[in-house]
Amino acid sequence: MSKTFKIGGIHPNDSKLTAGKEIIWLEQPQKVQMMLYQQIGAPSICIVKVGDKLKKGQLIAEDGSFVSACQHAPISGTVTKIEKIRNTQGWYGEAVTIEADPDRGDDFMEASNPRTQDQVDALSIKEIIDIVDSHGVVGLGGATFPTRVKLLPPEGSKPEVVIINGVECEPYLTCDDALMRRYPNEIVKGVELLMKVVNVRKGVIAIEDNKPEAIKVMRKAVEGRDDIKVVSLKKKYPQGGEKQLIAAVLGKEVKSGALPVSTGAVVNNVATVYTIFEAVYNDRPLIERVVTVTGPSLTNPGNFLVTLGTPIRTLIEAAGGLPEDTGKVIAGGPMMGKAVVNIDAPTTKGLSGILVLPESESHRKKELPCIRCANCVNVCPMGLEPYLISLLAKKHNWEDCEKGYVMNCIECGSCSYICSSHRPLLDYIKLGKQTVAGIIRERNNQK
């Protein structure tokens, strides 16, 4: 019987319209815009200027701090602008515009010299971490946490296992599924690198059971091995959350305020693992990723390999163009994604999907009084009381919000999804989290 986590969770229609579709390479654009803030932490620091000639893969921005990431030129060309542009949510951020140079083609900064297996085996742990850092690798499951930081567990922690997140529990998204079906052996090599770096002898690749082909090919890739295994999990949202995944695979709960590594587990998304493989074996920085472009009315939904910096509009056009009945475009999935207000914004490292919803599915229903059904409590995967926390936040009772563990919320949206009164529970909880986080920072600064 497939495993799953025990506390809360929901079972939305998975709507995997692009399941089984192979990865399609989207032609390299003539112009890209690379945002300097594509990761959790500090923005990257630009090191190029207008007029600079760049080769594909060349460093254009360095780490802004320990928690930050490098950025690289996704195409060969000339820097034409360095200015603030609007991202998908409409916020302005610094970006480097690069226009393609026809006579440079697809060349890299240096001649491509893939490492042999012997060369990879000879790399030290520090050398591997340095490669991951210098190649701009971040978590590709949506959080965009700099991977280098994850590979350096806090002093005193004792990792015992690496868990590879191939769950992809968000409805509609299939980019990770497509990646596993296409590159199973490369992903396994990436797992080996992770195991070496965090010094563990056990790896687990976790996949929900609605991806039978991915499970099949990944199991074939680890056939005969005792150190890496593939685990099938029952379909349940939000199983892709680190804490829920650890609970499902290991049966351990991450205590409030503790890091996931406190359970002995280091978790990485499967796309991140593939990117680590590309960086270490093929010396390729993170300049492209697989993005699912989907929606009920799209004529050609699919999983596209996209050059970073490509306009969102181009992705939608590749999927058949914006349907006439479009009511909303979402970056990510329907549960944790965010509405797109600017489809001319560029593709970034954290973009796993573009969901185009019709008008009929794009509006909230009328909010009604709470009927005290407690469904939001039953489905909360963190064991919280969403109805209460949202009310406290609405009334600006920040002290009780903090006491109600608002900071433990993972913003999965299960409470809003299940609410029969259509109350915007998560909206107020997010407000509470942001405000309480600021209060905590101010309190800590005064100590």
Smallest CA-to-CA distance from 210 within 18, 428, 423 is with 18
- What dihedral angle (degrees, nearest 10) is formed by the CA atoms of 370, 374, 380, 386? 40
Residue 102 has pLDDT above 80, yes or no: no
Structure tokens at 288: 């492209």
Hey, how many other C-beta atoms are within 10 angstroms of the C-beta on 189?
18
User: In 3-state terms, what secondary structure has residue 318?
Assistant: helix
Residue 288 has pLDDT above 60, yes or no: yes
Q: How far apart are CA 130 and CA 76, in angstroms?
A: 24
Q: How far apart are CA 410 and CA 342, in angstroms?
A: 26
Smallest CA-to-CA distance from 307 within 128, 77, 91 is with 77
Q: How confident is the model at residue 398 (pLDDT cuts 50, 70, 90)?
A: very high
- Decide: residue 52, CB within 10 A, 0-12 exposed, 13-18 middle, 19+ buried: middle
Is residue 193 within a helix (H) or strand (E), and if so which, with residue range? helix 184-198
Q: How far apart are CA 406 and CA 385, in angstroms?
A: 9
Show Cβ contacts of residue 72 under 8 Å, excluding neighbours closer than 6 positions. 57, 58, 59, 60, 135, 136, 285, 286, 287
Smallest CA-to-CA distance from 316 within 207, 139, 306 is with 306
- Which tens digit of pLDDT belongs to each residue from 158-200? 999 999 999 999 999 999 999 999 999 999 999 999 999 999 9
As a whole-number percent, the residues of the chain with pLDDT over 70 amount to 98
Q: Do residues 401 and 392 lie in contact, with contact meaning Cβ atoms separated by under 8 Å? A: yes
User: In 3-state terms, what secondary structure has residue 249?
Assistant: helix
Lowest-confidence segment of 154-158, 185-189, 304-308, 326-330 by average pLDDT: 154-158
Q: Do residues 279 and 319 lie in contact, with contact meaning Cβ atoms separated by under 8 Å? A: no
pTM listed for this prediction: 0.95
- Which tens digit of pLDDT belongs to each residue from 330-346? 999 999 999 999 999 99
Q: What stretches of 12-135 show up as alpha helix (H) in DSSP?
A: 117-121, 125-134
As a whole-number percent, the residues of the chain with pLDDT over 90 amount to 91
**Of 162 and 150, more confident:** 162
**pLDDT (0 to 100) of residue 106:** 61
Beta-strand (E) ranges in 283-410? 288-294, 302-307, 326-331, 338-339, 353-358
Mean pLDDT, the chain, integer: 95
Q: How confident is the model at residue 446 (pLDDT cuts 50, 70, 90)?
A: confident
Q: Do residues 369 and 336 lie in contact, with contact meaning Cβ atoms separated by under 8 Å? A: no
User: In 3-state terms, what secondary structure has residue 338?
Assistant: strand
Q: How confident is the model at residue 109 (pLDDT cuts 50, 70, 90)?
A: low
